[in-house]
Amino acid sequence: MCSKGLVYLVGAGPGDPGLITVKGLACLQKADVVVYDRLVSPALLRQAPQGCEMIDVGKSPKRHTLSQEAINALLVEKAMAGKVVTRLKGGDPFLFGRGGEEAEALAEAGVPFEVVPGVTSAIAAPAYAGIPVTHRDHTSAFAVVTGHEDPTKADSSLDWQKLATGVGTLTFVMGIGNLPKIVAKLIEHGRDPRTPVAIIQQGTEVTQKTVTGTLADIVEKAREADIRPPAVIVVGEVVRLREKLRWFDTKPLFGKRVLVTRSRDQASALSERLRELGAEPLEYPAIDIAPPKDFGPLDEAIAKLAAYDWLIFTSVNGVRAFVARMSDKGAGTSALSGLKITAVGPATAQALAEHGLRADYMPPVYTTEEIAAGLGDVAGQRILLPRAERAPRQLARALRDKGATVDEVAAYRTLAVGASDELKALLTDGQIDIVTFTSSSTVRNLATSLTSHERSQVMSRCLVACIGPVTARTAERLGIRVDVMASEHTIAGLVEAILTAVAERRRNDER
């Protein structure tokens, strides 16, 4: 029999994947098995180790994948097989999450377990709506109440008299289905009908929707706004602070879902900036980075570095691949001391700086065409151009036209990653607002996995943003309309162009 494993009962937080705790994320990243709930963010699930067994035990008001007893038995079974199990639960595992029952089952079976608390939606959703559950000018007490229990049943465990008048702020979770009854009970037991109320649907997510009113009118307002679960109900004077303190749903890209097509290892910088601006980045890489099929030409170039006058890098990937291969061949970056180095833009220059290298030249406009124009007289000079295996040849041709000898060598390959069925469904259903392309290869790879109808019709529903003119021309050749092109051909420039376009559309909609 295998030795017993270990179960982590982890609170995943309320929706925003950034709200999981550091310890909770560490437990997820070392799991052999992840048992997760319906409301856990897909972005969090992608943090699980490659090959980890993923088990969906999600529950909704009308659907239970597994009963609670079956979930308890599953946790015991996997742990008894010697597995490290991370039980990922929305919010906090011990706040209406039935984590206590799961812990009891593990304890009775003699299975070691740890509890990792999580951020509960009862506090986080109001906070993201600009509502503090306590405030010295309004109340020093709050209560978290299950809204799932029918308030009219005879054997209710809730003391409505004390709840209605004895606590400053009430937060009800899982209560939308019972909203009319909750409101009626609070008024019946003495709460002023003029008491402010807020309902926050899908709190902390870019789809968050907040409706405010009073006990007297909130039921009708929630019906008009088509409020659906999951949602948190907040009752109390602190709701009045929302208009002054709201911060999340006023961000410039709030509510926008943005497709990020960069390779997985490069997507983080763009995704992080989009999140800061209130958007939800959806990472579906259209390319993957791989070594060249044949290292021979690259190795030969590294062996004769002293013969070159210029070394030109046209991408971050080129820098990383070239320096990594130099290291593999036992050559340090000091071997580049006699060369002048060009970087196509600030991101590439930063990648050089990370290896202690400085760009001698960077064009004022970040395109390969500008490199050729800006290098001056290169007649008779030898130039090394390490780049992608199937990179465009315009730069090399332009330099040769100026009399230079140019050695183009493959430092890496970009592999096509087509649109998954999941991504196609998101596009078809209109679930993506903005599509970003940061290179011609990201455009080609996504476009070739879509039908001509999907390109022209489905993509037309999105705002399409390209990092520069070369990428934009590729998109247009493939039948994809381009709405936004960055004037500065960097990630920062792309984001700035998106902000300008979104603001312009909003102004037009308001006219």
Spatial distance between the Cα atoms of 308 and 67, rounded to a whole number of angstroms: 69
DSSP structure string for 265-281: GGHHHHHHHHHHTT-EE
Annotated catalytic residue 174: yes
Beta bridge partners of 288: 415
Beta bridge partners of 382: 405
Give the Cα-Cα-Cα angle 404, 406, 409 (nearest 5 degrees).
170
Query: Which residue, 474, 442, 475, is CA-closest to 456?
Result: 475
Catalytic residue among 83, 174, 185, 326: 174
One-letter identity of residue 277:
L
Compute φ and ψ for 223, nearest 5 degrees.
-65, -45
Annotated catalytic residue 37: yes
Classify residue 490 as exposed, middle or buried by CB count within 10 Å of its CB (0-12, 13-18, 19+): middle
Locate 185 and state its tokens.
């009970």
Catalytic residue among 16, 32, 37, 92: 37
Annotated catalytic residue 217: no
* Sheet of 463-466, strand order: 280-283, 257-260, 434-437, 463-466, 484-485
Q: How many angstroms separate the Cα of 317 from the Cα of each of 89, 257, 308? A: 38, 26, 21
Q: How many CB atoms lie within 10 A of CB 488?
A: 16
Catalytic residue among 30, 59, 181, 221: 59
Active site members? 37, 59, 174
